[in-house]
Amino acid sequence: MNNITSLCVSLATLLVWPVAAEEGQPGKATFSADQVVEKSHQAFYAAGADMKADVTMELITGDGKQRTRGLTMLRLNTSGGAAQKYFLYFKEPSDVRRMTFLVWKYPEKEDDRWIYIPAVDLVRRVAASDRRSSFVGSDFTYEDISGRDISADTHKFLREEKLGSNDCYVMESTPKETLDYVRRIAWIDTTTYLPLKEEYYDLRNELARVFTADTIENASSGAGRGEIPTVMKRTMRNVKSGHRTEVTFKSVSFNVGLTDDIFTERYLRQAPSKWVP
């Protein structure tokens, strides 16, 4: 109920928000800092009604040793886009083949997470208390994969500048609670609202991790619905250890018609062959 209320409030705010600037607001846009981050969140984590993608993660050490994770990702927006459900089916390496993650993500409470271990036909609940944990050993946290609750940070507009040839809003987000980082600086494309770069500063206020959106392409948004700009390749680099994770999306399509029942124990135990060939 809370989610619906907050969604209604933010929608209402979007409709009636005046064009006038306030402190920390981008110059040429009509949105507040919070709304820029909200739009970016929507573009990056919740585009379309649903999404299907084949994902490859390369975990690369400072001295070049490489490990690969391959998975199929299904995402469905629920509660009018305020919440998401994720289905992650691992294809490689061999020790995690057919292992499946199911996540029901809520904006303002802990996720429900399940993992299926095929060798013993076991469905386990996974404690979701630490959203800052690494996702399958990569440099991305769970939050980096599925998005951080916007209201958990204070957002500030710093400046507008070009990153390469793209006009960007440079935003600063400061977590309200103590985390492994104290601030995030994000370069958000003024047209697509995709984050092109993010810098995470650790508790010593030193640069710790850098996210870059390396390739952006248009992906099909369903028949007759045009295309959605999508980050097809992204990298998260741990500046201190030199470790980095490169994530490549392939065969991305939006609005493919995923239904709620796919995101249940039934398909956790037996992946839906229509979506996970």
Partner 1 sequence: MGAMIKRWGLCLTMAACSLLNTPAYAAPQLNGFAEWRGGLRLGGDAHQSNDATLDEARLQLDSSASWKNVQFRGKADFMYDAVDSEADIDPREVSAAISPLSAVDLKLGRQTLTWGVGDYLFINDLFPKDWKSFLLGRDDEYLKAPSDAVKASFFSDIANLDVVYTPRFNPDRYIDGKRVSFFNPRLNRLAGAGDAFAVEKRDDWFTDDEVAARISRNIGGFDAALYGYHGFWKSPMGFDAISEKATFPPLGVYGASVRGNVVRGVGSLETGYYDSPEDRSGDDPLVPNSQARVLVGYEQEIVTDFTVGGQYYLEHMMSFGAYRASLPNGTALADEDRHVLTSRLTWLALHQSLRLSLFTFYSPSDNDAYLRPTADYRIDDHWAASIGANLFMGESERTFFGQFEDAANVFASLRYGF
Taking the complex as a whole, how short is the minimal distance between the CB of residue 174 and partner 1, in angstroms? 20
Which residues make up the interface to partner 1 (CB under 8 A)? 59, 65, 67-68, 92-95, 97, 104, 110, 112, 119-123, 125-130, 132-134, 136-138, 180, 243, 261, 264-266, 270, 273, 277
CB of 271 to partner 1, least distance (A): 10
Please give the C-alpha separations between residue 258 and each of 17, 34, 198, 235, in angstroms, as whole numbers: 34, 30, 31, 28
Q: How far does Cα 61 stand from its chain's mean position?
A: 23
How far is residue 249 from each of residues 33, 49, 71, 85, measured CA to CA in Å? Answer: 29, 18, 10, 18
| Nearer Cβ to partner 1 (155/184) | 184
Q: Which is nearer to partner 1, 136 or 232 (CB)?
A: 136
Cβ contacts of residue 130 below 8 Å, gap of 6+?
none
Question: Which among 116, 157, 125 is positioned nearest to 33, based on CA atoms?
Answer: 157
CB of 113 to partner 1, least distance (A): 9
Nearest residue (CB) to partner 1, 116 versus 254: 116
Q: How far is the CB of 119 from partner 1 (least distance, A)?
A: 4
Residue whose entry in the numeric block shows the structure tokens 């690969």: 68
Least Å distance, CB 261 to partner 1, is: 7
Angle between helix axes 33-45 and 2-16 (nearest 10 degrees) is: 120
- Residue 140 or 193 with smaller CB distance to partner 1: 140
- Taking the least distance from each CB to partner 1, the nearer of 133 and 251 is 133
Are 169 and 37 in contact, with CB atoms under 8 Å apart? no
